[in-house]
Amino acid sequence: MHTNQPTFARHRALQRAALVPIVVAAALLVAGCGKDGKEGGKATQSAARVNGEEVTVHQINMVLERQQGLKPEQAEPASRQILEGLIDQELALQKATEQKLDRDPQIIQMLDATRRNLLARAYLEKTAAASVGTPSSEDVKKYFDEHPALFAQRRIYMLQDFTIQGDPEQIKEITPKLQVTDSSQGFVDVLKNSGLKFAVNQVTQPAEALPLNLVDQFAKLNDGKGMYQALNGGLKVVLVAASKPQPISLDQAKPMIERFLTESRRQEFIQKETKNLRSTAKIEYLGKFAEKPAGAASGAASAAAASAPAVVASKASSANGIDPAALNKGLSGLK
């Protein structure tokens, strides 16, 4: 292997950077904090050699640092599992190098795009981390008090998701009959008697796993009641088949709220920083991009949308409506 070529070395480093996320996603199920290895009774930064190429403890730790929630007793097995993934990565990397894939123009472009993305994200995240502090106790208490359905009045829901097929007249006729039922069994009986085709899925989940903009609406529903949304060719109903109170105290909720508020503020900062960078830069659109199509969003708005937080407290939909997109989006910030 000719490791004395600067271009080769740069491409190899880029290859490693691009492959790390693959190892994390495909090879890791648990993670934590690793320790330096031992070789012949002496500390060493090498964890393994693969055809003469070293896999280091630093590489293992880099992956471990991205993981959360590992118990102390899981650290050692996690480190070993990560090492095995890195060995597999190194073997594939060596074969890729033998086949000179690192010199393929398309691969070089992909590696450069990965490098650009990593550096841009690193700047924004580092700047946000330095600018966004930990939420105050007053902020945490305020959020706790403003969201009783998530905390003080939290419930565990057994939800039944019905998809009902029918033409507009059939749906118009059956909807009032369904709305007056007060139990899951009564709801199903009405459906069966109607002769309409329907499918149902059931899930049990806590309030914080619901879409944020629907939490308060579900909190107002008694068992046996649901939320309705007209569909093309039918009706969607999410029914509260059963529920039970399971409140969370302020002390219990504090770590979750802190994480959620910190992440929300971090994303808000990133949007603002992206907008500021654009406002102070000289940006020229060329060629076919010189003319902006009618109705197109501004660059700053598009950038802000692209970096928007995964979970945003949005206005609730209508009292009887379901936001189909929101139904597929849990409150990940508080899970």
Q: Compute the distance between CA of residue 33 and CA of residue 56 in angstroms, rounded to an integer.
A: 14
Residue 3 — very low, low, confident or very high, per pLDDT cuts 50/70/90?
very low
The answer, yes or no, to whether residue 317 has pLDDT greater than 70, is: no
Q: Compute the distance between CA of residue 47 and CA of residue 65 in angstroms, rounded to an integer.
A: 17
pLDDT tens digit sequence for 102-111: 999 999 999 9
The answer, yes or no, to whether residue 204 has pLDDT greater than 50, is: yes
Q: Specify the DSSP class assigned to residue 237.
A: E
Q: What is the mean pLDDT of the chain?
A: 81
Q: Is there a contact between 226 and 187 (Cβ–Cβ < 8 Å)?
A: yes
pLDDT of residue 296: 54
H/E stretch holding 203: strand 198-206
What average pLDDT score do residues 200-222 get?
94
What average pLDDT score do residues 10-37 get?
41
pLDDT of residue 297: 55
Name the percent of the chain lying above pLDDT 90.
67
Q: What is the reported pTM?
A: 0.61
pLDDT tens digit sequence for 30-42: 333 333 444 444 4
Q: Compute the distance between CA of residue 258 and CA of residue 301 in angstroms, rounded to an integer.
A: 28
Q: Is there a contact between 219 and 150 (Cβ–Cβ < 8 Å)?
A: no
Name the 3-class secondary structure at 267: helix
Name the 3-class secondary structure at 156: strand
Q: What's the gap between Cα 133 and its chain centre?
A: 22
The answer, yes or no, to whether residue 325 has pLDDT greater than 60, is: no
| Lowest-confidence region among 12-21, 66-75, 123-132, 282-291 | 12-21
| Lowest-confidence region among 17-26, 132-141, 247-256 | 17-26
- What torsion do the CA atoms of 63, 65, 71, 76 make, to the nearest 10 degrees? 50
Residue 51 — very low, low, confident or very high, per pLDDT cuts 50/70/90?
very high
The answer, yes or no, to whether residue 99 has pLDDT greater than 70, is: yes
pLDDT of residue 69: 75
pLDDT of residue 64: 87
More confident position, 65 or 105: 105
What average pLDDT score do residues 295-302 get?
52
Name the percent of the chain lying above pLDDT 70.
74
The answer, yes or no, to whether residue 332 has pLDDT greater than 60, is: no
Q: For tokens 């409150």, what's the residue? A: 331
pLDDT tens digit sequence for 270-291: 999 999 999 999 999 999 998 8
The answer, yes or no, to whether residue 298 has pLDDT greater than 80, is: no
The answer, yes or no, to whether residue 9 has pLDDT greater than 90, is: no
What average pLDDT score do residues 207-221 get?
93
Q: Is there a contact between 239 and 184 (Cβ–Cβ < 8 Å)?
A: yes
Number of alpha carbons in the 13 Å side-chain half-sphere of residue 156: 6
Residue 293 — very low, low, confident or very high, per pLDDT cuts 50/70/90?
low
The answer, yes or no, to whether residue 244 has pLDDT greater than 70, is: yes
Q: Compute the distance between CA of residue 12 and CA of residue 94 in angstroms, rounded to an integer.
A: 10
Composition of the chain by helix, strand, coil, percent to 5: 55, 15, 30
pLDDT of residue 141: 97
The answer, yes or no, to whether residue 29 has pLDDT greater than 90, is: no
pLDDT of residue 65: 83
The answer, yes or no, to whether residue 117 has pLDDT greater than 70, is: yes
Environment class of residue 159 by beta-carbon count within 10 Å: exposed (0-12), middle (13-18) or buried (19+)? buried
From 212, 218, 246, select the one nearest 332 (Cα to Cα). Answer: 212
Q: Which amino acid is at 67?
A: Q
Q: Is there a contact between 131 and 183 (Cβ–Cβ < 8 Å)?
A: no
Q: What's the gap between Cα 207 and its chain centre?
A: 18
pLDDT of residue 68: 75
